Copies of this chain bind each other. A is one copy, B any other.
Amino acid sequence: MIGAENLVRALLAGGVEVCFANPGTSEMHFLAALDRVSGMRCVLGLFEGVVTGAADGYARMLDRPACTLLHLGPGLANGLSNLHNAMRAHSPVVNIIGDHATYHRRHDAPLTSDIEGAARPFSHWVRTSENAASAALDGMAAVAAALSAPGRIASLILPADTAWTEVPEERLPPAPLATPRARPADAAIDAAARLLLSSEPTAIVLAGSATRAEALEFAGQIAVKTGAKLLAQTHTARLSRGAGRVPVDRIPYPVDQALAALAGFKNLILVGAKAPVAFFAYPDKPSELSPPGAHIHTLARAEHDIPYALAALAHAVKADKVPVPVGGFEPADRPTGAITPEKLATLIAATLPDHAIVVDESITTGRAFLPLTGAARPHEWLLGTGGSIGYAMPVSIGAAIACPDRKVVTLESDGSGLYMPQALWTQARQNLNILTLIFANRKYQILRNEMQNVGVSNVGPVASALLDIDKPAIDWVGLARSFGVEAFRAETMDELGRRIDAGLAMTGPCLIEVVL
């Protein structure tokens, strides 16, 4: 048995059942091991960002890691930006990064680089597996690191000779399980209860597992009982929404709107969230968004047992028997005529299938989507967490593989979708049930807004040419079809409605270019 086989056995024993891969020569023995030890589903990406983004999406839906397979330093580098998002989403991910054989490194062959150094800024845990005898234990340690609360990025570097050297079949230790999550101290719960019962205006800011259905139930009881306002952190990994779910508003992205949403609260109770801060600094706007003088209290951090914390708080404020009124599915009439962001939101709300997974990177086009889709059928809404652009199409792949019985709807702006369009090929190859809407305004609209926000009122021709992506306009239908994904263009709401119906009815991926 070679080291790579022991490693694959360890990953499988640790519950890692999917490998998103873009391999090279140094990973060939790991590939061979994937055939010798059965049980790992392997999914090829044409680019490493597709691979790491898919692992993020998988983890967001299942709370356990997939592994990635990446080729030395540059292969890892291509996957780092989506690992940044995964870190911020608290997604457990195990990266397997091939390296030169240990004895070959000193020759500084062209593909040599400081892999540990490259991994560290985007990983919580980094280790090089220095010999085949330790491969299994290193793999187990990586899985355990990934599963440690609230979900972490573990990067295991696998030199080629660690992978290929013959060793005895390792007796695997017991599989690591997700670390039982610590409960916040009673004092934190009592203090939160006192704030809620103080009759001062209080907001509960939710993120991480606090924006999942189970936790939201308790949060809803607390809100009903105490009058507290529920707010989702602007960037939370996954928000349970729609009919039957406790509604929660998201703190808006634009600073002025965020300040308005938070104005007047005397207390902010943080549950898996951080004190609200501006995404970017602007010359004349604050970095901290909490109202001046507001008391900020942490009920639970991301790594805590958040459902427990909210249940205990509900009990402490005597809300645990309170019924929470939730809405049903209320589709508005399908909008017709010219396409507008608000009509798009209404159509999305009307058409989302039961338990759909929405992956949202709609940026400026989608500002109205969350406010106007609360009455859709029950669904999960995945958001960008780290601000690294191009995450949605890769994350959709992982979500679709994690949940083959659900429909994934990707809401993608054209600028963002162009970072990793190769993701469409993996969607086609795996025949994934992903409907992608591309909002084609043919510019980086957010940057045109930001120019104003940072005080640049007259955008000159040089800057302007860096903010538009027309000339030539990108043909998304042709692009998707070139990767084997069925695609259509819609220029009216009527046309779009028909295309969405057809796209949702089919098996496999479909893309609609929504021309704005």
A contacts, CB < 8 Å to B: 21, 23-26, 28-29, 31-32, 34-36, 40, 42, 44, 46-47, 49, 72-75, 77-78, 80-81, 84-85, 88, 100-101, 103-104, 107-111, 113-114, 117-118, 120-122, 160-161, 164, 235, 274, 277-281, 283, 287-288, 385-390, 415, 418-422, 425, 428-429, 446-447, 450-451, 453-456, 459-463, 465-467, 469, 471-479, 481-484
Say yes or no: B471 contacts A482, CB within 8 Å: no
A387 touches B110 (CB 8 A): yes
Contacts A103-B281, A475-B481 hold; do A447 and B386 have CB atoms under 8 A apart?
A: no
Contact A24–B447 (Cβ < 8 Å): yes
A44 touches B466 (CB 8 A): yes
Closest to A420 in B: B47
Give the nearest-CB partner of A101 in chain B. Answer: B281
Q: How far is the CA of A84 from the CA of B78 in the complex (A)?
A: 11
Chain B residues contacting A49 (CB-CB under 8 Å) are 78
Name the distance in Å between A361's Cβ and chain B's nearest Cβ.
Answer: 14
Partner among B77, B120, B280, B462 whose Cβ is within 8 Å of the Cβ of A77: B77
A451 and B31 in contact, given A23-B466, A74-B80, A474-B425 (Cβ under 8 angstroms): yes
* Chain B, residue nearest A448 (CB): B28
Residue of B nearest to A46 (CB): B418
Complex interface: chain B residues within 8 A of A164 (CB)? 283, 454-455
Report if A28-B478 is in contact (Cβ < 8 Å); known contacts: A78-B78, A80-B77: no
**By the criterion CB–CB under 8 Å, are A104 and B29 in contact?**
no
| Most chain B beta carbons < 10 A, residue from A36, A415, A450 | A450
* B287 adjacent to A103 (CB under 8 Å): yes
Smallest CB gap from A417: residue in B: B46
Q: Using known A-B contacts A108-B274, A279-B109, determine if residue A21 contacts B466 with beta carbons closer than 8 Å.
A: yes
Interface centre among A46, A462, A479 (most CB of B within 10 A): A462
The chain B residue sitting closest to A44, CB to CB, is B466
A366, B203: Cα distance in complex, Å: 64
A35 contacts B463, CB within 8 Å?
yes
A164 to B420, CA, bound (A): 31
Q: Is the pair A110, B482 in contact by a Cβ cutoff of 8 Å?
A: no
* Sample of 14 further A-B pairs with CB below 8 A, known A46-B419, A425-B472: A28-B451, A28-B454, A35-B463, A77-B122, A88-B110, A107-B278, A111-B387, A113-B121, A113-B122, A164-B454, A421-B422, A476-B482, A478-B478, A479-B482
**Is there an interface contact between A484 and B474, defined as CB atoms closer than 8 Å?**
yes
Evaluate contact between A288 and B107: CB separation under 8 angstroms. Answer: yes
- Do A281 and B74 touch (CB < 8 A)? no
Chain B residues contacting A85 (CB-CB under 8 Å) are 74
Q: How far is the CA of A428 from the CA of B473 in the complex (A)?
A: 10
Q: List 27 A-B contacts (CB under 8 A).
A: A23-B466, A25-B280, A25-B447, A25-B450, A31-B462, A32-B456, A32-B460, A42-B462, A42-B465, A44-B465, A74-B85, A78-B419, A80-B118, A84-B113, A100-B280, A101-B281, A101-B287, A109-B287, A111-B387, A113-B122, A114-B120, A160-B454, A418-B425, A425-B472, A473-B484, A478-B482, A479-B479
Q: Does the CB pair B80–A84 fall under 8 Å? A: no
Chain B residues within an 8 Å CB radius of A478? 478-479, 481-482
Q: How far is the CB of A91 from chain B (nearest CB, A)?
A: 14
Q: Which residues of B contact A46 (CB under 8 A)?
A: 415, 418-419, 469
Asked whether, in the complex, the Cβ of B114 is within 8 Å of the Cβ of A121, the reply is yes
Say whether A35 contacts B460, CB under 8 Å.
Answer: yes
How near does chain B come to A107, taking the closest CB pair, in angstroms? 4
> Nearest chain B CB to A119's CB is how many angstroms away?
9
Nearest Cβ in chain B — how far from A420, in angstroms?
8
- CB neighbours of A103 from chain B (8 A): 281, 287
Q: Report the bound CA distance from A75 to B81 in whole Å.
A: 7
